[in-house]
Structure 1
Amino acid sequence: MKLHGLACPSGGVLGGMVTMERTLVPAGEGRAVRVAAGRRVRVVDVEGGQVGDLFAFAADDPREHLSAAHTRSVTSRLFPRVGEAFVTDRRRPILTLEGDTSPGSHDMLIAACDPARYEGLGVPGHASCAGNLESALAEMGLSIATVPQPVNVFMRIPVEESGRLRWLAAESRAGDAVTFEAAMDCVVVVSACPQDLAGINGDGPTPMAIDVL
């Protein structure tokens, strides 16, 4: 969906030369978008309380991807502040955190849920963020050898003083959004996490949206 010069429900008035392309991500599914360098991409929690697994890949070589581990080594933080960049496994900036209207709880420690995770929980065949990533890339004719560590927007995993991690329900509200600026041409994938057993998505998964501005 493209909106030209219109007020849009996820924030702001788009006027003049500004265009917004919205991709809806159904609950429990994933979608991919191409983002040119210099454009902004906004991940929106449509109904509130939903975790989104975000991945980003260099458009010219998807073997290069956003790396949570390399980003932590650059920023010396568990999650970048506004104005700081996420970098790839080749230590090149790929996305810069431009804005965040949520309470600010995000995670870069927890791996994407996958079939093995759900088999261990006793629900084989359950949808997963790893599967959503692979399906979304396949629709673009792309594939990857391994699933990178995602950027888990709106995911609340506080680290206790003892080092123990706590799994808490997302506290994002309807319409809360995280906005990034692309530092290179890239493919961004968002999975509206299908996890409905650990409580991170409250009463259950809900939709998300990807806005390319």
Structure 2
Amino acid sequence: MSTTHTHTHAHAHAGDDNGTELGQNATLHEPISADGTPEPGKSYTVPARCGRAVRVKAGQTIRISNPHGTQVCDTWIFNATHLNEFLSFEHTRAYIDKIIPQPGDPLVTNHRRPIAELVADTSPGVHDTLIAACDLYRYQNLGVESYHDNCSDNLRLALKAIGLRTREVPQPFNLWMNIPVKPDYTIEWLPPVSKAGDHVDIKAAMDCIVVMSACPQDIIPINALNPVEVEFTVLA
């Protein structure tokens, strides 16, 4: 399915960084707690098309689950003390010599040090680390004329909901997103191959802010054209 469209850009927000949302949804008003601190062992929902931020302490493990098996979850990990240090896949790919991490692999920051480890994955292991988070400009390129929920704004809003702000939108860990690279180096945009109930476990190597977005993409089939919720638990 072709995803090449005429480029029509929204008027960007004023400022010298990329940290201000271009629209809003319920994400801003529904944090899991005032500062993102979770109740260990409690299951939380990231509603379809929305985002959530959670604090994960060094040594704790967050389990992110795909209840329906069909939903992509854009996932970011920030150093809780300095949000300008974050999980970076251009650095992680170089560190692990892989395009997609597997259990036992470290996830490293833009400072080239581990921020977390992928410790378990019950899915076939098909995730994406190449594609930027969807944003308002992406949907305009796909022909959407009005505001469309998007992962970039979900990141910004989820952080804002707990009193934080990032100056940029890093490359996310696109859990369960199926973007095969073909022999001629072109890519495809396909539905997930995960099954209902699959999960990944990510263990924090430092105090972190983990942000998840239940991707709102409903124009190309990466969510089987039907965005739904995902779930997460900071294990006790």
TM-score normalized by the length of structure 1: 0.90
Query: Counterpart of 2:224?
Result: 202
Query: Counterpart of 2:80?
Result: 59
Alignment partner for residue 126 of structure 1, among 134, 148, 156? 148
1:95 matches 2:112: no
Alignment partner for residue 46 of structure 1, among 46, 67, 75? 67
Alignment partner for residue 75 of structure 1, among 96, 108, 132? 96
Unaligned stretches of 5+ residues in structure 2: 1-31, 33-39
Q: Is the Cα contact below 8 Å between 2:88 and 2:170 reproduced in 1?
A: yes
Query: Counterpart of 2:28?
Result: none
Query: Counterpart of 2:206?
Result: 184
Q: Within 1, Cα distance between the matches of 2:148 and 2:104?
A: 37
CA RMSD of aligned residues (A): 1.1
* TM-aligned CA deviation for residue 99 of structure 1: 0.3
CA deviations on 1:127-160 (whole Å, 9 max, x unpaired) are: 0000000000001111111100000000000111
* TM-aligned CA deviation for residue 21 of structure 1: 2.5
- The one-letter code of the counterpart of 2:165 is S
More strand by share: 1
Query: Counterpart of 1:150?
Result: 172
Q: Within 2, Cα distance between the matches of 1:105 and 1:46?
A: 16
Q: Within 2, Cα distance between the matches of 1:91 and 1:132?
A: 26
Q: Give the SS at the match of 1:209.
A: strand
Q: Give the SS at the match of 2:44.
A: strand
Runs of 4+ in 1 over 2 A off after TM superposition: none
Q: Within 1, Cα distance between the matches of 2:68 and 2:124?
A: 15
Query: Counterpart of 1:22?
Result: 43
Q: Within 2, Cα distance between the matches of 1:72 and 1:171?
A: 22
Alignment partner for residue 110 of structure 1, among 96, 120, 131? 131
Q: Within 2, Cα distance between the matches of 1:62 and 1:177?
A: 26
- The one-letter code of the counterpart of 2:151 is C
- The one-letter code of the counterpart of 1:119 is Q
Q: Give the SS at the match of 2:41.
A: strand
1:34 matches 2:55: yes
Q: Within 2, Cα distance between the matches of 1:203 and 1:115?
A: 18
Alignment partner for residue 138 of structure 1, among 149, 160, 179? 160
* TM-aligned CA deviation for residue 116 of structure 1: 0.5
* TM-aligned CA deviation for residue 203 of structure 1: 3.6
Q: Within 2, Cα distance between the matches of 1:84 and 1:206?
A: 28
TM-score normalized by the length of structure 2: 0.81
- What fraction of aligned residue pairs are identical, expressed as a percent? 47
CA deviations on 1:92-115 (whole Å, 9 max, x unpaired) are: 111101000112110000000000
- The one-letter code of the counterpart of 2:143 is G
Query: Counterpart of 1:167?
Result: 189
Q: Within 2, Cα distance between the matches of 1:193 and 1:185?
A: 25
Q: Within 2, Cα distance between the matches of 1:172 and 1:203?
A: 15
Q: Within 2, Cα distance between the matches of 1:92 and 1:177?
A: 25
